[in-house]
Structure 1
Amino acid sequence: MFPLQFAIPGGPELLILGVIFLIIPFGLAYWVYNDAERRGEENAALWAVAVGALTYLTLFGGLLTLAVYIWQRD
């Protein structure tokens, strides 16, 4: 049996997945904030935090919040 001295199994793959799961919530939050600011929404930061946080916690919750935001905007 050889010791694991060169790398952790699954290390780079887990790092890539972790970065992807951080980029998606921040990207959606950034888009929602910019869109809400352009449309004159006074709660732009609240929508961005809600979409970003819920996407980070649960992908379905974030997508549902994004759908509600898109539905309620003018």
Structure 2
Amino acid sequence: MGRVARSFDYVERADGSVVISHHGRPAGTLRGDRAAQFLAEVREDPQLVMARWTGNYRRGNERAARQHPRNRG
């Protein structure tokens, strides 16, 4: 089968902080309680959770943009 595209990745550092990267570039660093909360939540659906924590996720306006006269084709 095909390979699953993974645009987000994270690294847990020894000091307890978490660095989230998007396409190999740092997208955010979490420390303290936020890092612990992220690590507890990331086990569910890692790509979606990392997208949500970095703010890089779909905002729900894709359908409206597709129907705009400029984008109809």
Q: Which TM-score applies when normalising by structure 2?
A: 0.29
More strand by share: 2
Would you tell me which structure has more helix in proportion to its own residues? Answer: 1
TM-score, reference length from structure 1: 0.29
Looking at CA atoms only, which structure, 1 or 2, has the larger radius of gyration? 1
